[in-house]
Structure 1
Amino acid sequence: MDRITAAQVFVEIAQRGSMVAAAEALDMSRAMVTRYLAEMEAWAGARLLHRSTRRLSLSAAGEQTLERCRAMLALAGSMHNASLDPATPQGLLRIASSHWLAQGTLADAVSSFLVHYPLTAIELQVDNRAVNLVQQGIDLAIRITNALEPNQIARRLATCDSMVCAAPAYLAQHGWPQNIQDLSAHNCLTYSYFGKSLWQFSHAGQTSAVAVSGNLSSNESMALLAASIKGVGISLQPRAAVAALIASGQLLQLLPEYQPQQLGVYGIYTSREHMQPALRAMLDHLLEWFAQDPDWRPAESA
C-alpha cells in the first residue's frame, strides 16, 4: 500500500482521535482507514494506538511515529518545488492560543507574518484549555503563564503586566480599596481555579498575596472583563486588554503603587531539533511583534 497515504491516514486519526472522523475528513471508507492503520503498525513494528470505547490515544511508539509521519509528509509536500531554498519558511503551521490572546494580539501578528512569508499558511486553533501538542498536531502553543511544565520546550516571547481595575459605577457604590488587603472585602472577579484565588503583588521591594473571591469566576478573561465594565466587581486584567478602556475612563486603575505579579508569554513547541523554518520564523516574528507593542513588556526586560 502507499506509505505516504498511510502516514496521512495515521496523522488524521491521531489529530481527530477517531477513525470515523479521519475517514470522513479524508473521504475514505472506514475499512480503508483500518487497512492503512494496520499497514502503519506493521511498518513501525509496534502498536501505535490505545483503543478505548470513548477515544483513541497514542502509545509511546505512536507518538514517535506521529512526529516522523509529519516530517515525511512535510518532505513529500515540498517535493513539488524542490528549487526553493530549504531554509525558506513555507508550509502549514498549526498554532493554539486562548480566545483573548488570539483576538487581541495574535490575529494581527499572524496576518503580518503571512504577508512577510507568502509560502506559509496558518491554522489558528482558539481554545482556553491546555493542548497536547503531539496528539492534537499543534506546532506552536502561545500561553501566558508562570507555570511551565518541567519537560516543556518553550521560548519566552514577552512579559505580561497586569492591572487591577473596576468601573466607576462599582467604585461609587462600594468605595475604593486603599491597599491590597482591602481587596478581600470587595467583589473580585476571579479565574476558575480550585480553592481560593490569590492575587500576588510586589511593593517597595516586598512581595505579598491576598486571597480574593466574588460572585463570578470564569476560565475566560473576556467574560470577567465584560462584567467589570458593567460594574459587577473588581478584575485583574492584562494591561494589553484594559489600557484603552482605562484611557477612555470606562475602567479605572486601582492601587497603581502595587505591581501585580508579572507573567511570561511563551511559545511552546515539541522539539528544538529539526525545527521547520516556518516555526523558527514565527517565533522570531512574535518576539519582535510583542517588543514593538507598548502594552507588552519585551521578554528581555522580565
Structure 2
Amino acid sequence: MSTSNLTSLMSDMVVFVKVVETGSFSEAARQLGNTPSAVSRSIARLEKGLGTRVLQRTTRKLRLSDSGQAIYEHARDMLVCAQAAMEISGQFQTEPEGLIRLSVPKAVGHFLIHPHMPDFLTAYPKVNVVMSLDDRYTDLIDDQLDLAIRITDQPPPGLMGRHLSDIRHGLYASPDYVAAHPLPTHPQQLREHSCIYLGEAPSDSRWRFSKGGKVLNVTVSGRYAANHTGVRLDAVERGLGIGSLPRFVAKGAEQQGRIVRVLPDWEFRTQYCGALWALYPPTRHLPPKLRAMVEFLAGRLGGGKGEVWGPSP
C-alpha cells in the first residue's frame, strides 16, 4: 500500500472510531466539525480499502460487523498510540516549522490577512503558507486544511479556535457624490439614493439598521450591484452611489478622504457581520506552527476578546 493510501486509510479510521463511539454519522460529523455526507464517504472509502463491511446499517441504528469489531479495536488502539506520540513530540518541538494550509474568505484574506503575511513569513522562516481565498464553506478534513478563518457568531461544534476580531459593515459615498446629493440623515431617506449592494440575493437590497434598541429595514435600489468588495469600493470612489462595505475594506480610503461614512450614528447590519474566528481541529497540543499563526493574527488584528472556542479534546 502506498504512503498516500495508508494516510487516507488512517484518516478514515479516525472517522470510523468516532462513528462507533457516538453511534451515529450525524453526531460524529458534529464532533469532528464535518458533514454527515463527508463521514459517510469516509466509511465507504474505509470499507473499500479494507475489502470488508465494518458497519451494519439499519434505519434506526448502527451495528459493528464481526470484522468491524476487530478493526475498531485496532483503530482505537492506533489512535491512543498516536495521541501519546503527539504529546511526546510536542514536548520537544518548540520552533514553528512546516506547511500551513489556510482557508480565508476573499475580502478578509485580501484586505486583512494578506498584508501581514510578509511579516509572518519573516518572523517564522521555517513555516510555509498556502492561503486559499474562497467564500464557500470549507471543511477542514475534506479540504485538507490546517486552519480556517471564518466570520461567524456560532463556530461549528467539534472545532476549537481563537476569536480574532469583529467584522462590521458601513455605508460610504464619495465626496463628489456628497456634493451632488445631500446625505441622508435617516435610513428611510436611502430610498431616494442610488445604492450599491451585493446583488447575489434579494435580501442584499434589504438593508437593516439599529439604533438605541430600534431596528428597521429599508429596501434600497440602484443602478449597480457587485458581489466583490474591491469593485464596490471602486464604484463608491467613482461616485456611482452609496455603497455597503466592510469597515476594514473602507478604512484606508476613508482615512485618505476618498470616501466618507454615511449614517455613522446607525449600526448597519448584514448577514456578513459577526466575529472573526481562527478555527482548527480540537487538540490538546496545538502544533507550534499553528499556535504561531493564530497568536500572530490575534496580535495583528487586535486579538478580539481573547476568547477561545471549542470543546476539550
- TM bracket (short chain): 0.5 to 0.7
Distance 1:264 1:174, change over 3 A: same
Do the aligned partners of 1:170 and 1:231 also contact (CA within 8 Å) in 2? yes
The TM-score with structure 1 as length reference comes to: 0.67
The TM-score with structure 2 as length reference comes to: 0.64
CA displacement at 1:110 relative to structure 2: 2.5
Q: Deviations over 1:135-191 (max 9, x none)?
A: 111211212344645565443111123321011233344431121121233222222
Distance 1:175 1:283, change over 3 A: same
Do the aligned partners of 1:89 and 1:120 also contact (CA within 8 Å) in 2? yes
Instruction: Tell me the residue number matched to 2:255.
Output: 247
Matched, 1:175 2:175: no
Instruction: Tell me the residue number matched to 1:189.
Output: 196
Matched, 1:284 2:279: no
Q: Deviations over 1:11-66 (max 9, x none)?
A: 9xxxxxxxxxxxxxxxxxxxxxxxxx89981299769xxxxxxxxxxxxxxxxx9x
Structure 2 matches for 1:245-284, cutoff 5 A?
245-261=253-269, 263-284=274-295
Write the distance in 1 (CA, Å) between the matches of 2:297 and 2:231.
Answer: 26
Matched, 1:299 2:304: yes
Write the distance in 2 (CA, Å) between the matches of 1:145 and 1:163.
Answer: 18
Write the distance in 2 (CA, Å) between the matches of 1:194 and 1:211.
Answer: 13
> Which consecutive unaligned segments of at least 5 residues does structure 2 have?
11-44, 56-74, 308-313
Do the aligned partners of 1:7 and 1:40 also contact (CA within 8 Å) in 2? no
SS of aligned partner of 1:250: coil
Instruction: Tell me the residue number matched to 2:6.
Output: 7
Structure 2 matches for 1:68-83, cutoff 5 A?
none
Write the distance in 2 (CA, Å) between the matches of 1:275 and 1:137.
Answer: 16
Matched, 1:132 2:139: yes
Write the distance in 2 (CA, Å) between the matches of 1:130 and 1:203.
Answer: 32
Write the distance in 1 (CA, Å) between the matches of 2:52 and 2:143.
Answer: 21
Instruction: Tell me the residue number matched to 1:202.
Output: 210
Q: Which amino acid aligns with 1:281?
A: A
Write the distance in 1 (CA, Å) between the matches of 2:168 and 2:183.
Answer: 22
SS of aligned partner of 1:299: coil
Do the aligned partners of 2:163 and 2:306 also contact (CA within 8 Å) in 1? no
Do the aligned partners of 2:237 and 2:258 also contact (CA within 8 Å) in 1? yes
Write the distance in 1 (CA, Å) between the matches of 2:179 and 2:52.
Answer: 67
Distance 1:301 1:268, change over 3 A: closer
Structure 2 matches for 1:14-93, cutoff 5 A?
41-42=49-50, 85-93=92-100
Write the distance in 2 (CA, Å) between the matches of 1:183 and 1:147.
Answer: 31
Percent identity between matched residues is 25
Q: Which amino acid aligns with 1:214?
A: G
May I ask how many residue pairs the two structures share in their alignment?
A: 246
Write the distance in 2 (CA, Å) between the matches of 1:141 and 1:212.
Answer: 33
Instruction: Tell me the residue number matched to 1:54.
Output: none
Instruction: Tell me the residue number matched to 1:61.
Output: none
Instruction: Tell me the residue number matched to 2:42.
Output: none
CA displacement at 1:200 relative to structure 2: 3.2
Please tell me the root mean square deviation across aligned C-alpha atoms, in Å.
Answer: 3.9
Q: Deviations over 1:188-244 (max 9, x none)?
A: 222244332343333234444433343333332112111111112211222222222
Q: Deviations over 1:56-93 (max 9, x none)?
A: xxxxxxxxx9xx99xx8xx99xxxxx899324322111
Distance 1:41 1:282, change over 3 A: same
SS of aligned partner of 2:277: strand
Do the aligned partners of 2:162 and 2:277 also contact (CA within 8 Å) in 1? yes
Structure 2 matches for 1:78-157, cutoff 5 A?
85-146=92-153, 148-149=155-156, 153-157=160-164
SS of aligned partner of 1:300: coil
Write the distance in 1 (CA, Å) between the matches of 2:215 and 2:161.
Answer: 26
Distance 1:301 1:249, change over 3 A: farther
Write the distance in 2 (CA, Å) between the matches of 1:182 and 1:208.
Answer: 13
SS of aligned partner of 1:175: coil
Q: Which amino acid aligns with 2:195?
A: C
SS of aligned partner of 1:143: strand
